[in-house]
Every structure is written in C-alpha cells, then in structure tokens.
Amino acid sequence: MQAVVFERYGEVAEVREVPDPRPAPHGVTVRVEATGLCRSDWHGWQGHDPDITLPHVPGHELAGVVEAVGDRVTRWRPGDRVTVPFVCACGSCGACAAGDQQVCERQTQPGFTHWGSFAQYVALDHADVNLVAVPEEMSFATAASLGCRFATAFRAVVQQGRVAAGEWVAVHGCGGVGLSAVMIAAASGARVVAVDVSPQALDLARKFGAAQCLDASSTPDTAAAIHALTDGGAHLSLDALGSPTTCAASVNGLRRRGRHIQVGLLPSTSGTTPVPMARAIALELELLGSHGMAAHTYPPMLELVRAGVLRPDLLVTSTIGLDAVPAALAAMGTAPGAGVTVIEPWN
Ligand SMILES: NC(=O)c1ccc[n+]([C@@H]2O[C@H](COP(=O)([O-])OP(=O)(O)OC[C@H]3O[C@@H](n4cnc5c(N)ncnc54)[C@H](O)[C@@H]3O)[C@@H](O)[C@H]2O)c1
Ligand SMILES: [Zn+2]
Ligand SMILES: [Zn+2]
C-alpha cells in the first residue's frame, strides 16, 4: 500500500510503498477513505510524542471500510463503515471497566503507538471495544473529522465542561478543536467568546456561532477582555491550543467557580506549565483535563450530527491526496491553518 512515512523527526516525510497491515486477533484492518490532518500529527512529527518509534506513519482521525477481521472479533465484518476514537482502549483494564476508555491504562493510538492512517490501510486494535459504526448518510470526510478533534471538543464542552444554556464559554485557540468547541457550545445555547491570533480563524468562529471574537495578537490582556465582554468572566473556558499563555489566559478569564478544561497538548519538551493556582483556590475554580472520547459515548453526538444541529462537515476547508501530505504537515509549523484538512488516500 501507499503510505506517508518519516524516518527522522522534523525531516520532510515521503510517500512510498510499504507492506499492508494485518489485523491482530482482536483487531481489524480498515481501508482508509478519509483521514484528518491534526496538530497532534505535527507534534508527533516534531518528536514531541514519546510513544512514536521510527520509521513512522502518522494519522489518527479516520473513517473507512473494514477490510479484514481478526478471529476474535465478534461485532464487525468486512464492508462495515466505521470510525474510531484516536484513543483505542483495551476493554479490560480498571479504567475501561469503569467506562473510561478515553484514559485506558493500556491504550493504543493509531499514528502514535503504531502506524496510523496516512496510508491506504490501517490496523486498529480491540475492534469490538473501539469501532463506531458510521451511518450510511454520513460522508467519510465528516466521519473522519469526528475521530479526534470534534469528539475531543464534544467531550471537553459537554461531558467534562458540563456546558449549560445561557453560560459564557471562552475558547482559546480556534483551530480544528477550538472551532468544533465553538460550534458545540453555541449549539448548546451558550454564548461563546472565541480567541485566536488569526483573523481567518476568528471569521470561521463567528460563522460557527461565536457571539464575540478576540484577536489575542492585538489584545494586551485577553483574560481582562473576556471579563469585560462576559460581565464578570466565563463560566467555562477551554485552552484549545496548548501553551503557557493560553492556559493562563483561560484560567484567568474565568468567573467565580468557573471551569477550565485543558485540551491543547502541552509538549513535554517545553517543561512544565505554570497554572494560576492561587486564583483556583480563591475563586474555587475547577481545572480539568480532557482526553479524546470513549466510543460508547458517541451516540448522543452522532444523533446531533444526524439531526443537523452539529455540522462537522462545515469544518472541512480542504481535501488533499497522500502526495500533498508531507508538505501540508511541514506547513503546520509556520502557517496557522483555518479549519480542517481531510486526506483521501485513494484519490
Ligand atoms: N486532549 C485531547 O484529547 C486532544 C485531542 C486532539 C487535539 N489535541 C490538541 O489540541 C490542540 C489544538 O489542536 P488543533 O488541531 O485545533 O490545532 P490548530 O493548529 O488547528 O489550532 C490552533 C489554533 O490556535 C491559534 N493560536 C495560536 N496562538 C494563539 C494564541 N496566543 N492565542 C489564541 N489562539 C492562538 C492558531 O491560530 C490556531 O487557529 C493541539 O495541541 C492538539 O495536539 C488534544
Ligand atoms: Zn488529533
Ligand atoms: Zn483499558
């Protein structure tokens, strides 16, 4: 099969022929019909992810058709349309037993712990636990964009963030995760303040329902600006970029008893991130992480997509083939993208 392979961190990847994957006894292989390009892929390519061994094939937001099935798989057969959370759970550890597959103790992640979906086929572990059926009427491109950023944003806003109608929600960083969060929070009846340094990203945020937009590059104190816009601070705030600046701005922009959700990854190479803990005590803030979303919690999100309340398809701003991936991956280091790029490995 054709796949995007890199041999060294930060060195431009190449598209070449590699052996087709074979399914594990509990796993499947999937013919990849669409796969999203996410900032986490860029982090992996930069060497920020300790799970990766070289040479490596990235890609973790995918949808496609089951190609082959291991002999212990009971729920899936070749031809099924599927997607998968980027955290593939083992199904048997303590976290999985508690229903928390998104923080499985023995998780695998395609595109990180093993070769991913920037390829014509990908192997996925523990298929009975992890695969999610894609409805016939949902396109593969839409389904692929659910796998990581949209589902992650859904968990962050709805499950961890417990968003409520009428609340003010601040979203710091309006890339794929942040724009999804803006759309989900607005659809939940919240009023959203979108923060970014890119005018294109803020235009999209407005289109997806943000009531207020803040350009962080020309706002000296983002947290103070949020307090002014929201009559005392956000009820819920997400760092959807992952940086010391956006993390602190998110926490500082909260009102009393507000909830901060850390979604953006804080690369281990940049050391620990200072968090305004004194404020967390004085204002009784909640500071939570959010990590993917378990497959068994997908149905309410899929239902909102089916009903047209949530439109992940609108987040897809470009579609490319495998040949264009090495340059697109490299470009993420310098050019902030607007919206989501989807790769179609067979086109
Ligand atoms: N926790 C999880 O489960 C999970 C899942 C998926 C992605 N992630 C992480 O979430 C983060 C966002 O991913 P993405 O794909 O949306 O990235 P992205 O690159 O598409 O978006 C980041 C956005 O932040 C903006 N930005 C840059 N500097 C800023 C600043 N100072 N203030 C405000 N905005 C600023 C950029 O212009 C861009 O629009 C990444 O760290 C990614 O690895 C985490
Ligand atoms: Zn991702
Ligand atoms: Zn587990």
Residue-by-residue DSSP string for 274-338: ---HHHHHHTT-EEEE-----GGGHHHHHHHHHTTSS-GGGGEEEEE-GGGHHHHHHHTTTSPP-
- Same domain as 180, residue 139: no
Express each pLDDT in 266-322 by its tens digit.
876 667 889 999 999 999 999 999 999 999 999 999 999 999 999 999 999 899 999
Q: Which of 250, 273, 289 is the last residue of a domain?
A: 289
**Which residue, among 275, 278, 283, has the nearest Cα to 259 in the 3D structure?**
283
Domain total in the chain: 2
The distance from CA 100 to its chain's CA centroid, rounded to whole angstroms, is: 17
Same domain, 107 and 129: yes
Ligand 1 close to Cβ of residue 345 (< 6 A): no
Buried b (16+ CB within 10 A) or exposed e, 185-213: bbbbebbbbbbbbbeebbbbbbebbbbbb
* Residue showing tokens 């949530």: 310
103: helix, strand or coil? helix
Regarding whether 20 and 107 lie in a shared domain, the answer is yes
- CA–CA gap between residue 154 and residue 301 (Å, rounded): 7
Angle at alpha carbon of residue 264, lines to 93 and 84, rounded to 5°: 45
What's the mean pLDDT when you consider all of the chain?
95
Closest residue to atom 11 of ligand 1, CA basis: 264
In a domain, 153, yes or no: no
Residue 338: the pLDDT is 73
How far is the centre of ligand 1, averaged over its atoms, from the C-alpha of 246 (Å)? 10
Please identify, by atom number, the ligand 1 atom nearest to the C-alpha of residue 172: 33
Evaluate whether residue 242 is within a structural domain. yes
Residue 154 lies in a domain: no
pLDDT tens for each residue of 192-233: 999 999 999 999 999 999 999 999 999 999 999 999 999 999
Is residue 221, in this structure, part of any structural domain at all?
yes
Residues 312, 261 share a domain:
no
User: Which residue shows structure tokens 């796949």?
Assistant: 3
pLDDT tens-place string over residues 69-113? 999 999 999 999 999 999 999 999 999 999 999 999 999 999 999
Confirm or reject: Cβ of 241 under 6 Å from ligand 1. yes
Question: Which CATH number characterizes residue 191's domain?
Answer: 3.40.50.720
Q: 152 CB less than 6 Å from ligand 1?
A: yes
Give 269's DSSP letter: G
- For 105-142, the pLDDT digits (tens) are 999 999 999 999 999 999 999 999 999 999 999 999 99
Q: What is the pLDDT of residue 227?
A: 98
Q: How far is the CA of 68 from the centre of ligand 3 (A)?
A: 23
pLDDT of residue 145: 84
Instruction: Estimate to the nearest angstrom the gap between the alpha carbon of 184 and the chain centroid.
Output: 13
Nearest ligand to the CA atom of 293: 1
Specify which residues 28 forms β-bridges with: 69, 124
Provide the CATH number for the domain around residue 8: 3.90.180.10
Same domain, 241 and 222: yes
C-alpha to C-alpha distance for 276 and 281, rounded to whole angstroms: 9
Ligand 2 ion: Cβ-proximal residues, 5 Å cutoff: 38, 40, 148
Q: Indicate if ligand 1 lies below 6 Å from the C-beta of 182.
A: no
| 265 band by pLDDT with thresholds 50, 70 and 90 | confident
Q: For residue 196, what are the domain limits?
A: 162-289
Residues 45 and 131 in one domain: yes
Residue 317: C-alpha distances to residues 35, 127, 193, 343 (Å): 13, 30, 22, 11
**Domain final residue pick, 269, 289, 309:** 289
DSSP 8-state secondary structure symbol assigned to residue 7: S
| Integer Cα distance of 155 and 136 in angstroms | 24
Residue 326 and residue 284 share a domain: no
* Distance from C-alpha of 278 to C-alpha of 281, rounded to nearest angstrom: 5
**Residue owning the nearest CA to atom 9 of ligand 1:** 264
Residues 137 and 214 occupy one common structural domain? no
Q: Looking at the structure, do residues 283 and 299 belong to the same domain, yes or no?
A: no
Residue that wins the pLDDT comparison between 1 and 271: 1
Q: Does residue 207 fall inside a structural domain?
A: yes
pLDDT greater than 90 at residue 336 = no
Kindly report, residue by residue over 3-23, the tens digit of the pLDDT. Answer: 999 999 999 999 999 999 999
CB 35 within 8 A of CB 117: yes
> What is the predicted pLDDT for the residue at 339?
78
Contact 5, 16 (CB under 8 A): yes
Q: What's the pLDDT tens digit per position in 171-183?
A: 999 998 999 999 9
